[in-house]
Every structure is written in C-alpha cells, then in structure tokens.
Amino acid sequence: MVAPRRTLRSLAAGLLYVAAVLLLLEAASRLAVSVGPLFQRIAADDDSSNRLRWIQSRKRKSHVAYFFDEYHRTRGWTLKPGLRDLQVFGEKRLNSNSRGLRGTTEHAFEKEPGRTRIVVLGDSFTFGEEVGDAETYASQLAALAPGVDVLNLGVHGYGHDQMLLYLREEGLRYRPDVVLLGFVHIDMPRNLLSFRDYAKPRFERVLGRLELQGTPVPEPQSVIDAEPWRSKLLDLVAMLRARLDERSGAAEARAGRITAAILDEMTLTAASGGAKPAFAYLPVEDELERAGRGPTLRQRFFFDYCSARRVACLDLRPAFLARSRSGQAPSTRGHWSAAEHRLAAEALCDGLREQGLLPTSP
C-alpha cells in the first residue's frame, strides 16, 4: 500500500506544480496585455488582439464601433437607421434612412417600372468614410446615370462574409437588377476573423460548403462582462500563432480560399434574386503608388477569380493611375476624398455601361 500512496502523492505534487506554473503564466499574460506599449508589440490582426483592443477602448461602455453604429445580432454591427445631419469626419454630414442605408432617400422594396436598380455592397470605402452623403461613389454614380437607383449598403469594417449576409437579409428585398461589390483587398483577411471592429460572424468550409459560425453575435455588454474570465495566456498563444501564419503565408492562403467561396455564394445569391453580379476592384492606399509595378498577390487573386468564374469585373486601377500621371495624384493614405469617389463613380458608370449593366446614356 505504501507504493500506491507515494505514487498518488507524487501525482498530486506534479499537478500542483503544473497548476502553479499555469497560474504564473496567466498572471504574466494578464500583465503583458494590460501594458499598452508591450501589448502593441505583441498584438496582431487576430480575434484575440482585436477583442482586447475593443475592450480597452470600451471599458464601462456598451458601444459597438463608431457612435453612429448599432449592434446587429447576425452581422455584428450596422449603421443606425434614422440619422439626421450628424456631424462626422470633421465638417461632413451623415444621414441614414429608416432602414439604415446611407442618405435620406427612402427606397420601396418594389422598384418603379422602367428604372434600373443597383445594390452596392462594400466596406468603409463604399460607405464613404471621410466624405458626406452626396460625395460617396454610390451617390455620384446615381447622379451620373439618370433612371438608375443606387442603394448604398456599405458598412465600415465589414468583411465579405458580412456583405453576403447583408445581401441575403436586406439587399435582395429591393429586387435589384445589379449587385455591385466594391472589392477592397484589405477585406480578405477579415473573412478569417470572428472579431474585428466588434464581434462578427464568419464562414467555414465544411465538406465543400459554407457553414456560418458565430451567430447570434453576442451583445456588447455580455462581451465586456465575460472578459475577466477569459484566459489571457490563450490569447497570447493565439496572437503568436496569427503572426506565424501571417509570416508563413498560411493565413493568406486560407483567406484566398474562403474569399473565393464567399464570392461564389454572393454570385449565386444575386442570381437567385434575378440580379446580375458585378465586382469592382477599388484601388486603395499603397496600391495607388504601384504605377509600372506588377500586380500584388491579392490583385492576381481577384482577376484570376473573375477570369475563372466569368463574372463581370471592373478594374478601377487604370483610371486612378491615369489621374496620377496627370499630376492629380490621389491620396495613398487613409480613405478616399470626394474627388476620388467622383473618379470611381465615373469609371464605374463607364464600365457598367460597357458590360451592358446600365442603360446607354441618352
């Protein structure tokens, strides 16, 4: 009986040692994520880092992302409906209609006979961060194309997964003739995340099909209340893995696979509602400095995808690069100005007409 007792005591001592080490590591991890400069060195673009950033900026609050957003149980966040002349981005004005689409125009689900209707999906570039309602490329496209209604369903921070859900839930209800996606390359990694500006859904490929995960999205206060009980040691491990996946190219490969699957589903969803899909490549930030250089990895992904699927694709890069060569260089940092939105609207108007997706100009 002596030997089993010794074995049990040794096992108990070993377990206590492991528990003590884990507690020490957990305490050190909590200290690391609480020290701002140290956390910034550790953090990556992953769920844990994004959640901790959100918690740090929203302590004792229950806001979602920006003050003009509200919580959404399936998409995470969305533009508040019924906003009127909200001052944003300096001196710009933000309005939203009764269903949370940017602008004051109300759109009935049934369109008027003889009119063409375009539903536009996208992120902050489509939404129009840094510009007023009438300055967005969606609004300016409508002004350039008489007889065409352009509905701006862009929401800042969205990935293609949230855009697909928005199309399913709301976009098709408007009976669009065209579903236009403003494709921005920085949205591809967002399709891997379950937390970005706030908690969000994401898709996984299961047996060759897309399976939605992370819904219903938890309410903001519940995320805040649960935070003290989350292991910061596991958060640090997740951050390290995200950095390794980024450096090895594994994250980029996964983003490409899931993005292609989401775009496939977006195409099918648009067609199921009688609409024609069109994907527009929006050049942003450092891409506007690449005149004369070869395409980036994500540019190749986009145009290879369009070629393989034979989807209507519009490339706005030539218009922006031509403007640069004329001495009117667009901003390569942050979001587009009103002039860049105007340039995008003109290029889109021409491209959609060439594709036969807009009525010919009178």
Same domain, 125 and 196: yes
In this prediction the pTM is: 0.93
Is the pLDDT higher at 55 or at 8? 55
Write down the pLDDT at residue 36. 82
Residue 334: pLDDT over 70: yes
Same domain, 296 and 247: yes
Radius of gyration for the alpha carbons in the chain, expressed in angstroms and rounded:
24
Same domain, 180 and 147: yes
CA dihedral for 301, 307, 311, 316, sign (positive or negative): positive
Q: Once rounded to an integer, what is the mean pLDDT over residues 218-238?
A: 94
Same domain, 27 and 40: no
Same domain, 179 and 285: yes
Same domain, 94 and 132: yes
Same domain, 41 and 30: no
- Residue 266 resides in a domain: yes
Q: Are 207 and 265 in contact (CB under 8 A)?
A: no
Same domain, 250 and 341: yes
Same domain, 191 and 65: yes
CATH, residue 240: 3.40.50.1110
Confidence of residue 324 (pLDDT cuts 50, 70, 90): confident
Dump pLDDT digits (tens) for 33-59: 888 888 888 899 999 999 999 998 886
- Residue 280 resides in a domain: yes
Q: Which residue has the tokens 């570039």?
A: 125
| Nearest CA-CA partner of 153 in 77, 102, 85 | 102
Angle (CA) 315-159-329 rounded to 5° is 40
Dump pLDDT digits (tens) for 114-150: 999 999 999 999 999 999 999 999 999 999 999 999 9
- Residue 360 resides in a domain: no
Residue 2: pLDDT over 60: no
Dump pLDDT digits (tens) for 103-112: 999 999 999 9
- Residue 361 resides in a domain: no
User: Which amino acid appears at position 287 of this protein?
Assistant: E
Query: Cα separation of 179 and 46, whole Å?
Result: 30
Residue 5: give the domain boundaries: 1-34
| Nearest CA-CA partner of 341 in 133, 84, 175, 146 | 133
- Residue 346 resides in a domain: yes
Same domain, 249 and 187: yes
- Residue 106 resides in a domain: yes
Count: domains in the chain: 2
Q: Which helix (H) or strand (E) holds 277?
A: strand 276-281
Same domain, 176 and 325: yes
- Residue 310 resides in a domain: yes
Same domain, 10 and 96: no
Question: Residue 175 corresponds to which tokens in the numbers above?
Answer: 């009976």
| Nearest CA-CA partner of 23 in 232, 227, 226 | 232
What's the mean pLDDT when you consider all of the chain?
91
Question: DSSP code of 200?
Answer: -
- Residue 362 resides in a domain: no
- Phi/psi at 92 (5° precision): -80, 160
User: Which amino acid appears at position 200 of this protein?
Assistant: K
